[in-house]
Amino acid sequence: MTVHFWCTKNDLSTFGAVSAVREIVSFDPATREELGRVLAADAAEVERKVASLGKELPAPPLEERVALVRRAAASLRAQAASLAELMTREQGKPLRESRAEVDNAADRLDYFCGTAPRALAPIEETLPAFRSATRFRPIGVVAAIKPWNFPVGIPLWTIGPALLAGNAVLFKPSERTPLLGQRIYEIFREAPIEIVHGADETGRAIVRSNVDMISFVGSQAVGKEIMRESAPRLRRLTLELGGKDPMIVCADADLDAAVAGAVAATFKNCGQVCCGVQRIYVEKPLFGSFLAGVVERTKKLKVGNGLDPATDVGPMNREEQIETVERHLRDAAAKGARIVTGGRALGGLFFEPTVIAGIREEMLLAQEETFGPVMPVTAVADDEEAVRLANATDFGLTATVWTRDLERADRIARRLQAGTIGVNQTVGSVVQCPWGGVKRSGIGRMLGPEAAREFADVVNYRLPRAQ
């Protein structure tokens, strides 16, 4: 029986098979080898686990919660090599990217442990009529519904701060990376946490359950569904719903730096990155040199199994990702765009890193999240045109500006509609900085020094002034 998996990074997709006992099968995207199986949870199991987590409260003291999360960080480091290998085999990215993700995840947990005591500390003030005390209380049961493209890093954005804030956590990893999800659960097993595996049915059961908050990273389509189902009870949400992130390259930009940044930000994780560069607007005097530079670098990238140390670009994660890339490229070519290099499937789930020139607003490549190894490059006349095109989507996660004139960069950046904007640098999530989108890229913020507050109710107490 084939099923449609819910909460994939792109819109609803099909993958794998579920047996009569509701098994989800994990595959290596590079080899198609079966890696293992997990049982999918039905609605009744979701309800049981939510009810059991609700009984875990009240939370232990903050110092105990900090110690628990620090132990989890230490466990991540101790298992880093095996977790990275499993990530490459189950998700597909090159091994060095997998190892960096695991190491970074452990560092982020330590950061949350260091900042949570300050973020959650009571705020007290004596006012003319009374004493004000603001305290941060746990919300309850937080559901973490997370994607497959960063299957260790992104779940911990929620699990770490939510536990530190005193909540219990119901964790649904992506059905595409269930074995990694199970490993994360084992690392946090002494915490008030439960795991449920599954796709459409399981995801919808979570949203319809009595969880008190949902933290979701995935597609706009699923994010809207979560909002609709959560509206009757005004449930707390954080939603990160992807991007169509622009890069603006001015004529006075450092050409080598801009070219290197474009290639790195486009083809990392085979382009399966929410904040990856998906549209590049280059001022006309630099366009020819920039295009030649990115084509030269792109042609040198090696596509292959992520376990091979020489691999730069691994496989795409599933067939649906390849289908989206091919559909976007066909649409663009039919409307006048020109593929400069790449553009071909290489067999299996491998796809050539692709550079395509002459993208216009009406093309799918300019509007929909491609989530693949495609770099659209377009010439623009001036800053005005670049900003207009950069803002001409429903997305608003990240953007970058490249110019030697920092005052000009500031003028452009202030007009861009994005949650994070970089100047002369690529951008990704950094634990010290708030992370989230504007427009339809989501609501709420994760990371940053006050990350734990996102998972707490803010309660103000007004007390008599001391006599």
Catalytic residues: 240, 274
State how far the alpha carbon of 338 is from the alpha carbons of 11, 327, 335, 412, in Å.
27, 15, 9, 28
Rounded distance, CA 88 to CA 76, Å?
Answer: 16
- Residue 96's contacts (CB-CB under 8 Å, 6 or more residues apart) are 309
